[in-house]
Amino acid sequence: MLTELFHGRLVQLAARDADKDGETLARWSTDSDYLRLLDSEPARPRLAKGFGEGITRRADRQHVFAFNIRTLADDRFIGFVSLRVGNWASAEGRVGIGIGAAADRSHGYGTDAMQLI
C-alpha cells in the first residue's frame, strides 16, 4: 500500500504559514487550558503579528522541523507539532505538540501527528 508522506489516518502535517496562522494562534493564546497543556512557561496572550514573526524566525533554524496539523476530513488547521534536534549524533532532541481548540482534543489527532513526526 502506497502512503503519502506526512499523511496519517486522521491528520496531515503541513507547512506553517506566517501570514495565515497568526490569527488562529493568537486566539488559542487566550485559552488557559491550551496554554497549561502546551508549555511550562507562564501563560500570556499574544498578538497575531508576534506569531507570524516567530514562525518566520523559527523556519530559518536548521534543526527545527515545525508543521501545522490539519485534519484530513475537512483540512482544518487544528494545531502544530515540532521536532527540535539538539544533537544528530546522539539522537538528542525535543518534540512539542499543541491542539488548539478544546473540541479537537481527545479525538486521536495528536496521537496521529506524533506518529507522523
Provide block-wise average pLDDT over 10 residues at a time, the chain (117 residues).
78 88 86 81 67 54 84 96 84 90 96 95
Please name the residue ranges forming H helices in the chain.
18-28, 32-38, 48-59, 109-116
Q: What is the pLDDT of residue 76?
A: 95
pLDDT of res. 57: 56
| Model pLDDT, residue 74 | 96
* Residue 30 grid cell: 487566550
- Whose grid coordinates read 507562564? 42
pLDDT at site 40: 66
Q: Is the CB of residue 29 less than 8 Å from the CB of residue 80?
A: no
Report pLDDT for 1.
44
The closest of 8, 5, 22, 16 to 110, measured between CA atoms, is 8
pTM of the model: 0.81
